[in-house]
Each structure stands twice: as structure tokens, then as C-alpha cells.
């Protein structure tokens, strides 16, 4: 079990230990099912190819639009990743088991968010390779790129876990989640795109400000999630 050492190191009655348990469970499910690697990753790369059909690949539009297209592909994949992360919880009454498990709801929230975040980071790494190869862009400003990806992913994962549990268990969850989530994460798309543009143009001054906005977004949603996850889990 990959998470066993991590969760054993932490004190028994702690939120972080609960989070590590939930995250470990999600990673083990992924190790066996390979849904992210086998379906989400190809989907994300397919989106990149589809963008090229929509925007003429010969006229450098793709290169200029790379930051925006990158984050748009991340948002689309994120919706699927969240749906996946909560469909494994709602099947077979797992969510009742989770409620009865004596795990701290805040820990469950952090664990789900960390699991989603790790999946997203893998997707983003692949997408970065994808835009470099397919759109012919050379990444610059590695520090800013990495910081943007980390803060944006933290925000997306936290907001995603919150809205994921809200929509989980509803019959219309698949159609409801995008309309609930996309307006909320629009600032992440804006900030991520602007920060990436700054990094690619090697003018990172503005980029760090956008990165700061992403950090604020992430912090806000982690705090909201820690408090709101328990009542939402009770009702889902």
C-alpha cells in the first residue's frame, strides 16, 4: 500500500491522517482502474488536437493562444476528474460507509482534494508536454509555471471537491456540475492564463501577481471546504 507509511507516521487522531487515508484509497483505486491514465489523459490530449482544428494551426494562433488553451483543457478534464472522484463514492452506498467511518469530514475533504489535485497535476504535466510538442511553444519561466500550476491546481481541487460532493448523489449531477463549477473557477482560468502568458513572454512581474490571486482562491476554498464539507456530506 503506497500510503501506509505516510498515514502511519501521523498521529492517529488527526485530520491529516484521515486525509492521507482517503487520498491513499483514491490512488489505489486509480492504480487498479487506470481511469485517469487510460481515459482522462487521452481526452486532455484529444482536446489539444481539437483546438488545432478549430484554430488554424498554420497561422501561429495556436502558439499565441497556448496559455488559454492549456487551462481550458485543464478545466474540461477537471470536470471529468471530479465526476470520477465522486462516482466512486456514490456507488454501492460507499458514501454512507464514509459517513459512518469516524473519519473527520474535514480530513475526507482534504483527502479528496489532494487526490483530485494529484490527478490534475499529472494531467497538467502531460498537457504541458502536449502544447510544447503540438503547438511548437517553448516553455520559459519554469518557476512561475510550476508555482502557477501548483496554486491553480490547489484551488481547482478544493473547489472541485466541494462542488463534487454537492452534486454527488443527485440524478442530474453530470449536467449540474459544469454549470455550478465553471463560473466559479473562471477566475482560475483568467489568472492561470495570464500567469502562463507572462511566463512564456518572460515578463514574470505581472505573472506573480496573478499567481498570488490563485493562492488566495485556493486558500479561500480550502477554508470553505473544511467547514462546509461536513453538512454537505451529511446530505449527499
Partner 1 sequence: MTTPSNDSGAGLLRLHPDGTASRGSRILGIVVLVGSVLFLYVALVASKPDESLDAMGQLVRIMYVHVPAAIACYLAFFVTAVASAMYLWKRTTGWDALAASSAEIGVVFTALTLLTGSIWGHTTWGTWWEWDPRLTSTALMFVLYIGYLALRRAIIDPVSRAKQSAILGIIAFANVPIVHYSVDWWRSLHQTATVASLDPQIDGLRLFALFLGMILAMLLYAWLLLHRFRLEFASQALEAKGLDYALQERRAEGRADAAEVAATAAPALDAEEVR
Site string for partner 1, 2-41 (x = CB under 8 A): ----------------------------------------
CA distance 148 to 195: 7
Q: For residues 157, 77, 131 and 217, what is the CA-based torsion angle, rounded to 10 degrees?
A: -30
Q: Distance between the two ends of the chain, CA-based, in angstroms?
A: 29
Q: What phi and psi, each to the nearest 5 degrees, are found at residue 207?
A: -60, -40
Site for partner 1 in 195-224 (CB under 8 A): 206, 213, 216-217, 220, 224
Output the smallest distance, CB 220 to partner 1, in A: 7
89 binds partner 1 (CB under 8 A): no
Count residues binding partner 1 (CB under 8 A).
28
Judged by CB under 8 A, the stretch of 39-47, 53-61, 144-152, 171-179 that binds partner 1 is 171-179
Output the smallest distance, CB 180 to partner 1, in A: 4
In this structure, are residues 10 and 16 in contact, taking their beta carbons and an 8 Å threshold?
A: yes
Q: Is 68 exposed, middle or buried (0-12, 13-18, 19+ CB in 10 A)?
A: middle
Neighbours of 103 (CB within 10 A): 17
187 binds partner 1 (CB under 8 A): yes
Residues that bind partner 1 (CB under 8 A): 162, 166-167, 170-172, 176, 179-180, 182-184, 186-187, 190-191, 194, 206, 213, 216-217, 220, 224, 228, 231-232, 234-235
Amino acid at each position: 500500500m503506497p500510503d501506509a507509511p505516510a498515514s502511519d507516521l501521523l498521529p492517529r487522531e488527526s485530520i491529516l491522517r484521515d486525509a492521507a487515508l482517503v487520498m491513499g484509497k483514491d490512488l489505489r483505486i486509480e492504480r487498479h482502474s487506470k481511469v485517469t491514465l487510460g481515459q482522462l489523459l487521452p481526452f486532455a490530449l484529444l482536446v489539444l488536437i481539437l483546438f488545432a482544428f478549430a484554430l488554424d494551426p498554420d497561422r501561429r494562433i495556436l502558439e499565441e493562444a497556448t496559455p488559454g488553451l492549456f487551462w481550458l483543457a485543464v478545466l474540461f478534464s477537471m470536470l471529468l476528474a471530479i465526476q470520477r472522484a465522486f462516482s466512486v463514492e456514490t456507488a454501492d452506498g460507499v458514501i454512507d460507509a464514509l459517513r459512518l467511518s469516524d473519519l473527520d469530514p474535514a480530513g475526507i475533504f482534504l483527502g479528496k482534494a489532494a487526490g483530485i489535485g494529484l490527478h490534475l497535476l499529472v494531467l497538467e504535466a502531460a498537457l504541458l508536454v502536449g502544447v510544447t510538442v503540438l503547438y511548437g511553444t517553448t516553455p520559459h519561466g519554469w518557476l512561475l509555471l510550476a508555482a502557477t500550476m501548483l496554486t491553480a491546481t490547489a484551488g481547482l481541487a478544493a473547489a472541485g471537491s466541494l462542488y463534487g460532493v454537492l452534486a454527488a448523489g443527485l440524478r442530474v449531477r453530470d449536467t449540474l456540475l459544469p454549470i455550478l463549477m465553471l463560473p466559479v473557477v473562471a477566475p482560475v482560468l483568467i489568472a492561470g492564463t495570464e500567469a502562463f502568458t507572462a511566463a512564456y513572454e518572460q515578463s514574470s512581474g505581472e505573472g506573480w501577481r496573478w499567481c498570488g490571486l490563485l493562492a488566495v482562491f485556493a486558500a479561500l476554498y480550502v477554508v470553505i471546504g473544511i467547514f462546509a464539507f461536513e453538512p454537505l456530506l451529511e446530505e449527499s
